Amino acid sequence: ATACLVASRLGVSEKPAFDIAIACSGFIYGLTVASGLIRSGVYRRIMLIGAETLSKILDRTDRSTAILFGDGAGAVILERSEQDSFLASDLGADGSRPELLYAHGSGARQPIDHAGLDAKVQLIHMQGPETFKLAVTKMVESTDSVLSKANLTKTDVTFLIPHQANRRIIDAMARYLELPDEKVVVNIAEYGNTSAASIPLALSETVRAGLLKPSDLVVFVAFGGGLSWGAVAWRWTA
């Protein structure tokens, strides 16, 4: 597991470390799992990392995918506190349409061989128009759902920090949610789609810019391979 190697290089010995392999939705799922472990009293402090090197599995001849993706990494440290920042989570998955966004090869189901390499089975393939429609729909639904679970409304949202899939998806989602541009964090022009790294990267830039204040309501939302999606409502306390 990559997490074990990272922990070792950080000098964190004999502590639990594990991967969550769910592509672009990874940070949302990880935030939900880590928050649950802290809130239940199992652990006091957890490091959550989102990292991808998608450049290694891009088909450079396919402009529909090659121009979208980038490499990146971002991390947060979650710690138990008197005020619970985690307000609600909404997760979903649908494995009935994996052909919309996938890389067939390199796993146990389809080990890489010469024929597979020639067929580019190890590279990312995406059906853009269908993925676009489903991504917008599911991220809007998940955002609405997580706000409902937290007994909040869209007017309560200080910032929406979405997975940086592409600008058209983000703009369409914000339009359906009726959120003004100043409430939606976008940095895809700088880094591209970095999958599980995109939300922590965007969060880091928002924090460094001094935009987040205590008690601000942040909604994180993502859609990715699997297919998978999710959202988290978070009360900022830092």
Active site residue 24: yes
125, 151, 187, 193: which is the annotated catalytic residue? 193
User: Over 90: is that where the pLDDT of 2 sits?
Assistant: yes
User: Options 3.90.226.10, 3.40.47.10, 3.20.20.70, 3.40.50.740; which CATH number does 1-238 get?
Assistant: 3.40.47.10
User: Over 70: is that where the pLDDT of 11 sits?
Assistant: yes
Q: How many CB atoms lie within 10 A of CB 168?
A: 12
C-alpha 207/C-alpha 58 separation (Å) is 31
Q: What's the pLDDT score for residue 225?
A: 82
User: Over 80: is that where the pLDDT of 162 sits?
Assistant: yes
C-alpha 75/C-alpha 210 separation (Å) is 18
Q: What's the pLDDT score for residue 112?
A: 66
Q: What is the pLDDT of residues 60-84, one digit of tens each?
A: 787 777 778 889 999 999 999 988 8
C-alpha 23/C-alpha 100 separation (Å) is 14
C-alpha 48/C-alpha 38 separation (Å) is 12
What single letter denotes the amino acid at residue 219? V
The domain spans of the chain are: 1-238
Q: What's the pLDDT score for residue 214?
A: 94
The owner of tokens 């995109």 is 198
4, 104, 125, 163: which is the annotated catalytic residue? 163
Measure CA 151 to chain center: 23
User: Could you write out the three-class secondary structure of the chain?
Assistant: CHHHHHHHHCCCCCCCCCCCCCHHHHHHHHHHHHHHHHHCCCCCEEEEEEEEEHHHHCCCCCHHHHCCECEEEEEEEEECCCCCCEEEEEEEECCCCHHHEECCCCCCCCCCCHHHHHCCCCCCEECHHHHHHHHHHHHHHHHHHHHHHCCCCHHHCCEEEECCCCHHHHHHHHHHHCCCHHHECCCHHHHCECHHHHHHHHHHHHHHCCCCCCCCEEEEEEEECCCEEEEEEEECCC
Q: What is the pLDDT of residues 101-154, one digit of tens each?
A: 666 666 666 666 666 665 566 666 666 678 889 999 999 999 999 999 999 999
Residue 224 banded pLDDT, cuts 50, 70, 90: confident
Half-sphere exposure of 152 (CA within 13 A, CB side): 22
Average pLDDT of the segment spanning 165-187: 96
Active site residue 104: no
pTM (2 d.p.): 0.91
Q: What's the pLDDT score for residue 98?
A: 72
User: Over 70: is that where the pLDDT of 4 sits?
Assistant: yes
